Structure 1
Amino acid sequence: MNHIPSVNLKDFISNDPVKKQQFVDQIGKAYEEIGFVALKGHFLDDQLVDNLYNEIKNFFELPLETKHKYEIEGIGGQRGYVSFGKESAKGKKEGDLKEFWHFGQYVDDNPALAEEYPDNVEVKELPEFNKVGKEAYQMLEKTAKYVLRALALYLDLEETYFDNYIHNGNSILRPIHYPPITQEPKDAVRAAAHGDINLITLLMGAQGKGLQVQNHKGEWIDAIAEPDELMINVGDMLSRHTNNKLKSTIHRVVNPPKESWGTSRYSIPFFMHPVSEMKLDVLDNCISETNPKQFEDITAGEFLNERLRELGLIK
């Protein structure tokens, strides 16, 4: 496959069983073949998208010493600010050319989980920042819920199979700033080739060139969304749970051509995680003679901690 298929979530949530089934078939096939889709019909409206971009640009333009106030020690970068070059891809020594922020889950009905997750960090200089971040988080989470419902049907599971695992899940909204490049990077790129850790990722900000996806032949193809589309990909947790039936595809963000080095890039992924006790054991109906069980049993929490150590975010 040499392009990213486009699907419309409105087909799935319509009352038309034919359109709903077509959406299930299209998204399932795309995730088997390339691991990415471009999704229209999501729950983010244009005004919310504009507000979010304005707020994150305002944040990243704050003085460095102000931003550093929001870099919280001891939580593996799970909330607040993570400074430039701190994160590297698995197996890479060079830090990625980016800085970012993390919004996490807003738990309102489970005191034990509220205790388990770090608190969200309030930015005192920007009165709208946290309000807009929370609203975007919840609209992306709602979109992700319906995508996972479609995938549950594709996998011959009950439609709401994932619902309880993702309610109050350990999901992260990560506004990223790739600053202008001021000198020839030594082996560093904006985001080195990697697979995502989580169930699925919903990406805002893939409208220009930069994001590339590796297809099954090992070729890098550009993943460019239309203005009204989110780019959504399978993460390693879902790939593992489905015995690699649904593919977690390696992707990267390449440096722009030299004439565009002076420009910033912003992108905003939403990493949909389940609650930490979800078992990622391979689903029985994804095991066959031709596709024997490929992964050991593990919980989502154990898998996340393993990967955060590999990324250098926790010791």
Structure 2
Amino acid sequence: MIQLPILSLTDEPAALAQKLGDSFSTYGFAMIKDHGLDPALVRQGWDKTAEFFALPTDEKRRYYDAEAGGQRGYTPFGTEIAKDAKAHDLKEFWHVGREIDPASPIAHTMPRNVWPERPEHFRETFEPLFAEFDRVGNIILSRIAVYLGLDADWFEPAVHEGNSILRLLHYPPMDASQGEEGAIRAGAHEDINLITLLLGAEEGGLEILARDGSWIDMRPPEGALVVNVGDMLQRLTNHVLPSTTHRVRNPAGDRARYSRYSMPFFLHLRSDFPIRTLEGCISAERPNRYPDAILADDYLHERLVEIGLVKA
């Protein structure tokens, strides 16, 4: 049985950079404890997540805008579909995005946040929790930069005002799920963004695809983060850091009667950032797979079309 190493964000920076890079280059994933997210704020986040998804479906759907591609607010159960999958995922979710200065030159690319009337203190919980994830994500990016031979602050301008998203995920009990034949909680997919920071993976179900074709069960310690490489970072690094296929399988036995909640933070590049292969990731043995750069916003749009959230 393969078990990923559990890393600590408090490790000496250079040593952590190497350990993170080794885990990412091998698995596309890492598990991180001692991450420093405010525990009281995280607990409050879990409470508000459960309270929101317990609301009547009609009330939740008031915050759904099909034309917005699920980028903010509510996305109903059975809407998202993994690329090339035949059945929609058995989940519903809510997206919180970055609050950006209207005077910013990229403000027009950033959807406005949507805030529900219930539960109380929803916005007051998730605005600071978004900022906490953003802070920790930037520390992790600085360690990745060092591993890649870049300055530790290389990613700072690349993600400044980036279109990052905090997703609140609810997978309902299986007996309440009316999905299509063969549907699972989250079909096999790769993430679009730069890196993903995930809370809630200690509840079983998350699996990653190993190079030998087997599925690895991800069970981090309670409260630890699961962090994975997204397609944007894979493209930027010419697959030095791979974006690994993962899924959330359906529970068996007694666990099928319970909801599953998780909280991924999708850390994105700023919308006008050109994704251009890093020179240090190109060699005779590793020729450039992506000779043409693409703007982060254009890349995001392409992928949202593929997963059914945006029309072409």
Q: Normalization by structure 1: what TM-score? A: 0.94
Alignment partner of 2:303 out of 288, 307, 311: 307
How far has the Cα of 1:259 moved from its partner? 2.8
Match of 1:102 in 2: 95
Q: Counterparts of 2:102 and 2:36 in 1: how far apart (Å)? A: 23
Q: Counterparts of 2:159 and 2:178 in 1: how far apart (Å)? A: 42
Alignment partner of 1:211 out of 187, 206, 212: 206
Amino acid at match of 1:62: L
How far has the Cα of 1:108 moved from its partner? 3.5
How far has the Cα of 1:184 moved from its partner? 8.4
Amino acid at match of 1:9: L
Match of 2:263 in 1: 268
Q: Counterparts of 2:37 and 2:281 in 1: how far apart (Å)? A: 33
How far has the Cα of 1:49 moved from its partner? 1.2
Match of 1:50 in 2: 43
Match of 1:6 in 2: 6
Q: Counterparts of 1:283 and 1:180 in 2: how far apart (Å)? A: 44
How far has the Cα of 1:54 moved from its partner? 0.4
Alignment partner of 2:218 out of 211, 216, 223: 223
Structure 2, unmatched stretches of 5+, are none
Alignment partner of 2:143 out of 147, 150, 164: 150
Match of 2:26 in 1: 33
Structure 1 residues 192 and 73: CA distance shift in structure 2, 3 A = closer
Q: Counterparts of 2:232 and 2:111 in 1: how far apart (Å)? A: 22
Match of 1:187 in 2: 182
Q: CA RMSD in A?
A: 1.5
Q: Normalization by structure 2: what TM-score? A: 0.95
Deviations 1:175-229 (A, max 9, x none): 0000001178621000000000000000010012100011111110111111131
Structure 1, unmatched stretches of 5+, are 12-18
SS class of match (1:90): coil
Q: Counterparts of 2:279 and 2:5 in 1: how far apart (Å)? A: 28
How far has the Cα of 1:7 moved from its partner? 1.1
SS class of match (2:247): strand
How far has the Cα of 1:244 moved from its partner? 0.1
| C-alpha contact (below 8 Å) 2:163/2:268 kept by paired residues | yes
Deviations 1:43-87 (A, max 9, x none): 312211110000010100001110011002321110000000000
Q: Counterparts of 1:73 and 1:210 in 2: how far apart (Å)? A: 28
Q: Counterparts of 2:20 and 2:88 in 1: how far apart (Å)? A: 33
| C-alpha contact (below 8 Å) 1:5/1:36 kept by paired residues | no
| C-alpha contact (below 8 Å) 2:208/2:244 kept by paired residues | yes
Deviations 1:251-302 (A, max 9, x none): 0000000332210000110000011111211111101111111124212111
SS class of match (1:27): helix
Match of 1:15 in 2: none
Structure 1 residues 184 and 76: CA distance shift in structure 2, 3 A = closer
Amino acid at match of 1:204: L
Alignment partner of 1:24 out of 10, 13, 17: 17
SS class of match (1:306): helix
Q: Is the aligned partner of 1:242 residue 2:274?
A: no
| C-alpha contact (below 8 Å) 1:181/1:261 kept by paired residues | yes
SS class of match (2:162): coil
SS class of match (1:271): strand
Match of 1:16 in 2: none
Give aligned-pair identity as a percent. 41
| C-alpha contact (below 8 Å) 1:205/1:266 kept by paired residues | yes
SS class of match (1:26): helix
